[in-house]
Amino acid sequence: MTINLTHFTFSLGSTRFLKVARTTHSDGTEVVVKVFAKHDPQLQLDTYKNTLMEHHQKLYTTANVLPFQHFWVSVVEWSLLACFS
């Protein structure tokens, strides 16, 4: 699943750091996308990426927990993707 194949449905709100939107994937699945906008291109997010990967690995097999399924880091933004059903 890639973020390029999602279509914006509506905003679920925004906070100081994250923007949250409900989108529809090209296969019809409803998806929640959380975007962290990098205002400083020099900001390094590797530490946070590693921490998120550790959380994902620990929580992957836990029942009723879905913090996120995928995430991408780009020059402009950082996206967390979680299924919404």
Q: What is the structure's pLDDT at 85? A: 44
Q: What is the structure's pLDDT at 63? A: 83
CATH topology of domain 3-83: Phosphorylase Kinase; domain 1 (3.30.200)
Per-residue model confidence as pLDDT tens digits over 14-69: 888 788 888 888 888 888 888 877 777 787 878 888 888 888 888 888 888 776 77
* Strands 77-83 and 70-73, bridge-based pairing: antiparallel
Question: CA torsion sign, 38 to 44 to 47 to 53?
Answer: positive
Kindly tell me if the per-residue pLDDT of 1 is higher than 60: no
| Cα-trace Rg, the chain | 13
